[in-house]
């Protein structure tokens, strides 16, 4: 069970009750989801939640949250703040958003990509985040897809998204036996690059046509030494050993992705 701030625990319980009353499916994504699966001492003040409701029906849920003392941030439409100060980023990704591939925030008239969120709801796993608080959480390979989409959707490319993807490659399947599996051995990956290979494999198995194209574009950017993506994946570090490790992880991820795509098409 991960360590959450008391105000975050109470916020999750309030959100859980409101979602049950409104009949809305909620899935934890972002840094909190990452910490559910990977032991990490990083802390975040924000809790990111994907909600299976379209934005034109969002009021059925937010009315209940406002009754509990939640207030919306006037500058960020996704941001809600509880009475005790917990910051909750609520993303309404209903059927329409998943069908069109985007959400349009009504006030700012800004579009946010909804690519990959079909898997958020389909692949989510229930986990106890606090005593008597069980919520659905997106698994790591789905989080990797969301990070990829977020980076490629931003014209400037947020460095944080690639830094997080690099951590996922390093930490993926660090526990258990998968890094010693036959598929890793056949791919020629060593233990250090096995996580990146397995992450690519699972993302490849997951992706549909449009999603696969986005991941393929990221892989191309990572393999191009003239592009900033390669440097960002190494978290800005310039040591030769770090550069080599980063290149090896990106190559292993790409190899796994190709195999995963091939396997998904053969199903």
Domain ranges within the chain, ordered by starting residue: 6-138, 144-266
Bridge partners, 48 (sequence order)? 29, 89
Residue 81 burial (CB count, 10 A) = 16
Q: pLDDT tens across 173-194, in order?
A: 999 899 999 999 999 999 999 9
Tell which wins on pLDDT, 244 or 236.
244
Q: Which residues of 44-58 are buried (b: 16+ CB within 10 A; e: fewer)?
A: eeebbbbbbbbbeeb
Q: Worst-scoring range by mean pLDDT, 55-59, 150-154, 186-190? A: 150-154
pLDDT at 109: 84
Tell which wins on pLDDT, 229 or 8.
8
Write down the pTM of the prediction.
0.92
pLDDT at 241: 67
Residue with tokens 């796993």: 125
Does the pLDDT value for residue 232 go beyond 90?
A: no
pLDDT at 132: 87
Does the pLDDT value for residue 112 go beyond 80?
A: yes
Residue with tokens 């990509």: 113
Token output for 179: 């890094």
Q: How far apart are CA 210 and CA 47, in angstroms?
A: 28
CATH fold label, 6-138: Beta Polymerase; domain 2 (3.30.460)
Q: 166, 235 in Cβ contact below 8 A?
A: yes
């Amino acid at each position: 069970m991960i360590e959450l701030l008391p105000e975050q625990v109470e916020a999750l319980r309030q959100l859980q009750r409101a979602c049950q009353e409104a009949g809305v499916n909620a899935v934890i994504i972002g840094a909190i989801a990452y910490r559910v699966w990977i032991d990490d001492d990083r802390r975040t003040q924000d809790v990111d939640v994907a909600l299976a409701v379209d934005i034109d029906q969002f009021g059925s849920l937010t009315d209940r949250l406002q009754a509990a003392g939640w207030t919306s941030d006037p500058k960020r439409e996704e941001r809600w703040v509880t009475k005790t100060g917990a910051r909750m980023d609520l993303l309404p990704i209903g059927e329409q958003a998943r069908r069109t591939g985007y959400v349009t925030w009504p006030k700012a008239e800004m579009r946010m990509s909804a690519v990959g969120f079909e898997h958020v709801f389909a692949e989510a796993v229930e986990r106890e985040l606090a005593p008597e608080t069980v919520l659905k959480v997106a698994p790591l390979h789905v989080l990797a897809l969301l990070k990829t989409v977020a980076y490629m959707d931003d014209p400037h490319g947020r460095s944080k998204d690639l830094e997080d993807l690099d951590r996922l490659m390093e930490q993926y399947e660090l526990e258990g036996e998968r890094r010693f599996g036959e598929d890793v051995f056949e791919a020629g990956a060593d233990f250090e690059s096995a996580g990146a290979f397995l992450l690519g494999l699972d993302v490849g198995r997951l992706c549909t046509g449009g999603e696969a194209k986005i991941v393929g574009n990221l892989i191309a950017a990572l393999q191009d030494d003239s592009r900033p993506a390669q440097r960002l994946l190494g978290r800005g570090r310039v040591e030769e050993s770090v550069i080599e490790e980063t290149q090896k992880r990106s190559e292993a991820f790409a190899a796994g992705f190709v195999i995963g795509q091939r396997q998904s098409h053969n199903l």
